[in-house]
Amino acid sequence: MIDKLPLDSPLWDGLSACYSTANAIARLREVVSTRELGEPWRELCDELLHQGSVYGVTSAAIPHLVELAPELPMDARRTLWIEIGFMVTAGAGEFESPPAAGLQEGLTAALRRADVLAVGDFLADGAVPPGEVGYFALSCVAFTGHPVGRALWEFLSPGEGYVRMVCAGCEAEYEVGGFADPIGPPCPPPVVELPPLGLEPWPSLARAIDDVDLGPGWSGFLDAARQVAAAGVPVHAPADAVWCLVAAMVALQGDDSVPWARTLARLAGHLRCVECDQVYSIADLINEQDDVEPVDPASAPAETVADGVTGFRPAPGGVPASAALEARVRWRVGSRAVDALAALGEGAVLAAGPSGTTAWDVETGGQVLPVMPGPAVSVYAPDDTVIVTADPDGALHRWERSTANPLGEAVRGGGTPVRSLAAVLVPHARHEHAVPWLSVMQGRRLLAVGDAGGGVELWEPLAERPHVELFRREDRAVAGLAALDFTDQPSWSGTDLIVLYGDTVVDVWESAAVHGNRSTMAPDPAGLAAIGHEHIVGGVVAPRRLGYRAPVLLADRNGTVSMWETFGVRLNDPLPPDPRHRDVIGVAAVPYGESIAVVTVSRADRNLRIWQPARGSVALVPLDVSPRCVTAVGRTVVVGHDDGVLAVTAGGEGTT
């Protein structure tokens, strides 16, 4: 038995709780008596832990909860261990003032017991949800007293893509991007020398790591993980090695967890502060340890050091594995050149070129609208009423979507060629301090027009003149537009408009912003250049399959492809160039299994490059045409070429 404060003791009245000590002890009695984690448990958690603060009742309740754990079903035990982990790392592992003698010793004994039980449950629990497995592993570490456990409060979930860190020297704050499955090891593995003195079940966990395979180059990280586990995670174990253990524990959940496990190995690297130029262990910074000392830059290979501009470096020399992938041409039409493509709803594609604009059914390749005559260099369907084409002189032509009949005369004269079109939703709810010109447009879906003079305008699709010029870069031409909508999120509706200029400059304009200016948090040119970008030729919003937000993919003429949040955080290692895939002219993304496939098109080599980021694999698919543009409609990749249009479906493992 563990010494603990009896549930009927009057000493509970002298302990603090978040809201009500009486409610806290009543809910604790109910949880212990019913042996269930229902509504009383949720109320109890609100009393024990609130916004990172714990209370006297928290420390007194932990021994009761640890004793309860073996009587709960496995999923409830997992929930219990994670919640206690948060309590302990918030400070509940010690009484500020024990109400009776022996209670601190009982609490310490309870946490030793929690260490044994939680690791045993981790080994036995074969169905930990992906979003919880990292927290479960860190809770096990927290019960040992190792400071890495404190990272529970700074931890991120799969797909979030960045880590928040504060420089220990100058306190500069960073959101470090590129935190996703690296293609290869991001840094040399930690060197660990710890005697195997751990108590069960930690040695059993060490043996289980023998069955983990993270891929080529990762064996040193697993060796470090095994040594830390065999030693029982002593408090003096190097933090980077303990993160290797957390990564290995995550990988024990099965092959689907391996990418997330490789991601956690990022924390064995280093961060260079761009303000004070000091280099620190990432593991020390994310754990918010006291008295953190910088490391000798010579001990941290430059190519493995992250910073606040470029984020985590791509894995040195990492290239995706080649995949066996079949691509089937579903249909091909036409004998005229196509310079621009755009989706027409979910079932058709618009193809524009010198000989006019045509709409084709994506399933059959059948023509669904009459030809819209006149040369066109860009085409878009901003809403369900109109199709807009731009001619080589910069004029906009509007066509009825259902019939392709012209709607009035051409608009937007002046001779500045249009380079790209996109749709922008302005939210209904405007902030009371929003600039007036934004308030006027609330609730409307407008047409964004990017031109060769560096300007970006907003047009009502059927209007004779633009609403407003959003901004203009006089020194460069707009090369492309992409739009990320948030219409499915009530608290944040609107559109992020991504503007490309054909180099490494990227602008983002948010229709939900109050001030109406460009965002100050777009992908940084230095960060883009640092990962291999030189001349960005295309950007596309990926399908919503990788988490809360849809990522933006940027493709370079040299073949580099990277994945970003519109607020400037890189999500994963970029896809490096391939000498067999030169002169890339565009990028598209389609759903692929539970993730996405990213497709770039080479004009010089006449092929497609299909990248599956979640699988770390890539395939080259030859084409028998000379491509000029590419887009995706649903699951179909559509390629415009010198002689018409062809539609391609990628096949193989994972296709749905």
| Backbone dihedral region for residue 317 (phi beyond 0: left; psi -120 to 50: alpha; all else: beta) | left
pLDDT at 557: 97
Q: Say what percent of the chain tops pLDDT 90.
A: 61
The mean pLDDT of 609-628, rounded to a whole number, is 90
pLDDT at 656: 31
Least confident of 253-262, 317-326, 410-419, 547-556: 317-326
pLDDT score of 191 more than 90:
no
pLDDT at 387: 97
pLDDT at 187: 81
Eight-state DSSP code of residue 442:
T
Give CATH superfamily name and number for 322-581+635-650. YVTN repeat-like/Quinoprotein amine dehydrogenase (2.130.10.10)
pLDDT in tens, 345-384: 989 999 999 999 999 999 999 999 999 999 999 999 998 9
pLDDT score of 654 more than 60:
no
**Does the CA dihedral 68-70-71-77 come out positive or negative?**
positive
pLDDT score of 556 more than 50:
yes
pLDDT at 516: 85
The mean pLDDT of 579-599, rounded to a whole number, is 92
- Among residues 282, 442, 297, 451, the alpha carbon closest in space to that of 377 is found at 451
pLDDT at 180: 75
Residue 286, token pair as written in the block: 């994310």
Contact 300, 279 (CB under 8 A): yes
pLDDT-based confidence at residue 488 (cuts at 50, 70, 90): low
pLDDT at 289: 64
pLDDT score of 127 more than 90:
no
pLDDT in tens, 266-319: 888 889 998 999 999 888 888 666 678 898 888 787 777 888 778 887 776 667
Eight-state DSSP code of residue 420:
E
The mean pLDDT of 631-637, rounded to a whole number, is 94
pLDDT at 655: 35
pLDDT in tens, 431-468: 667 788 887 888 889 999 999 999 999 998 888 888 88
pLDDT score of 335 more than 60:
yes
pLDDT score of 545 more than 60:
no
Q: Say what percent of the chain tops pLDDT 70.
A: 94
pLDDT score of 402 more than 90:
yes
Report how far residue 640's alpha carbon sits from residue 214's, in angstroms, rounded to the nearest whole number.
Answer: 40
pLDDT at 594: 73
pLDDT in tens, 89-111: 999 999 988 888 889 999 999 99
Report how far residue 116's alpha carbon sits from residue 546's, in angstroms, rounded to the nearest whole number.
Answer: 35
pLDDT at 138: 94
- Could you give the C-alpha distances from 635 to 159, 226, 426, 600, in angstroms and in order? 22, 43, 28, 15
pLDDT score of 330 more than 80:
yes
Q: Domain spans of the chain?
A: 1-125, 322-581+635-650
Report how far residue 357's alpha carbon sits from residue 344's, in angstroms, rounded to the nearest whole number.
Answer: 12
The mean pLDDT of 532-541, rounded to a whole number, is 96
Average pLDDT taken over every residue of the chain: 89
pLDDT score of 616 more than 80:
no
pLDDT in tens, 496-515: 999 999 999 999 999 988 88
pLDDT score of 199 more than 80:
yes
Contact 571, 565 (CB under 8 A): yes
- Could you give the C-alpha distances from 344 to 243, 341, 351, 505, in angstroms and in order? 48, 10, 10, 29
